[in-house]
Amino acid sequence: MTRLYGAGAAHAAVMAVSFLLAGAAVWSLGVEGLWNPDRWWQSVAVWFVGAAVLHDAVLYPLYSLADRATLPTRSWAVRRVPVRQHIRVPALGAALTLLIFFPGILRTDDTAIVAATGMNRDPYLERWLWLVAAMIAASAAVFLLRVLLAGGSPRADEAESEQR
100 and 42 both lie in a single domain: no
Query: Are residues 88 and 102 located together in one domain of the fold?
Result: yes
pLDDT on residue 21 = 94
What's the structural domain count of the chain? 3
Report pLDDT digits (tens) over 90-116. Answer: 998 998 899 888 877 887 766 766 777
Rounded CA-CA distance 146/34 in Å is 47
pLDDT in tens, 130-139: 999 999 999 9
pLDDT < 50 stretches in the chain: 156
Structural domain range at position 50:
37-70
pTM exceeds 0.75 for this model: no
Last residue of a domain, one of 70, 94, 119: 70
Do residues 20 and 79 share a domain? Answer: no
Residues 92 and 121 in one domain: yes
Residue 152 has φ and ψ, to the nearest 5°, of: 80, 175
Same domain, residue pair 23 and 93: no
Residue 49 and residue 101 in one domain: no
